[in-house]
Structure 1
Amino acid sequence: MSFEKQIAQVFNLKGDSWLKHANPWSVWTRFVTLPFLVLAIWSRVWIGWYSLIPISLLVIWLIINPTLFKKPKSFDNWGSKSVLGEKYWSERKRNPVPKHHNTVVRILTILQTIGGIILIVGLWKLEINWTIIGAITVYLAKMWFLDRMVWIFEEMNNTAR
């Protein structure tokens, strides 16, 4: 099973769940969660073990968010297309996506991972510069990744016609 399929399983993304997650409210409310998660983790300095409460709530939010919203009335928006592009990408072994996306998507995934590692180290060591650099790297790579997913969605839909 591909890494993307495993991630989709964690977030219960199968069948209509992908369509619910394609709701722009799902996309953007999930997207803005990272700064709150960073703050919750950093709050261990101020509130100690009580920081586990907001951390847990945010992790639960990230897990259930993709299934909370209704299927959108229209998929003609950037957020919806990015999620549906991710669906195409996660199913690329069964339904291949154009090969010119492979290298870029892998590079962006590596950049997100590197940013995530920098962010985790920054949070672990309470180094604000590392934390900010990690968060910015994660966000920029994720935005570019999602934009690539929109491109994949549009190409796959044009090919299907």
Structure 2
Amino acid sequence: MDPGRLRMLGMDSEVWKRHASGWSVWTRFATLPILYLAIWSHVELGWPLALACIGVVAVWLWLNPRVFPAPRRFDRWHARAVLGERVWLNRAIVPVPQDANRKALGFSLLAGIGFVIGLWGAVWPSIPLIIAGTALTYCGKLAFLNVMAGLYDLMRDAHPLYRSWTQIPDNDNGRDRQNDAQRAG
């Protein structure tokens, strides 16, 4: 994905760091059943209110990577998965290994098929379709994220840009404030 498209989505460097938070990853991950419920609500509430519910979920999905603070550590699985996704989206500029790319595309396809099945089940109310779609989506997404964590591990030292994503500037100002606070306490 080119940088212009990422900017349109508002996914700048700071947002990506925040998205690497466990709170962001796991609350976003848990949103799928809520989206299906919002769609399903058209049965009881009608489409105008269901669309409002879907809109609320969409706003949450946009806000999610922005509301949680960046993690203190980037070595946890969820943080590495998010950083790997960022590496993968940059593959047109810095190529990634073919095997990782093939796996990522395959697992994305699986998650996408599951998502469509779940959507179908929510629109034409069918609990078995929603369950099957949710299971396929989660399996595909978890496998995709696992590939992304491995991709980040492989690529983090392949380009200076990737190394910079998790570096914390070392300066005297922060250390002096910390030392002053320790002496005062």
- Fold shared per TM-score above 0.5: yes
TM-score scaled by structure 2? 0.78
CA distance in 1, matches of 2:116, 2:28: 20
Q: Please say if residues 11 and 66 of structure 1, whose CA atoms lie closer than 8 Å, have aligned partners that are also in contact.
A: no
Aligned to 1:19: 17
TM-score scaled by structure 1? 0.89
Larger gyration radius, structure 1 or structure 2: 2
Aligned to 1:145: 144
**CA displacement, residues 17-39 of structure 1 (integer Å, 9 cap, x when unaligned):** 11111111111111100111111
CA distance in 2, matches of 1:5, 1:84: 19
Aligned to 1:134: 133
> Relative to 1, partners in 2 of residues 1:19 and 1:59: Cα closer, same or farther, differing over 3 Å?
same
Q: Secondary structure at the match of 1:71?
A: coil
> Relative to 1, partners in 2 of residues 1:132 and 1:10: Cα closer, same or farther, differing over 3 Å?
farther
More off after superposition, 128-137 vs 83-92: 128-137
Matches within 5 A, 1:1-161: 1=1, 6=5, 8-9=6-7, 11-48=9-46, 49-157=48-156, 159=158
Counterpart code for 1:134: G
Matched residue pairs, number?
159
1:53 Cα deviation (Å)?
A: 3.1
Unaligned stretches of 5+ residues in structure 1: none
Counterpart code for 2:30: V
Unaligned stretches of 5+ residues in structure 2: 164-185
1:157 Cα deviation (Å)?
A: 2.3
More off after superposition, 44-53 vs 31-40: 44-53
> Relative to 1, partners in 2 of residues 1:31 and 1:11: Cα closer, same or farther, differing over 3 Å?
farther
Q: Please say if residues 120 and 129 of structure 2, whose CA atoms lie closer than 8 Å, have aligned partners that are also in contact.
A: yes
**What RMSD over aligned residues (CA atoms) do the two structures have, in Å?**
2.1
Counterpart code for 2:102: T
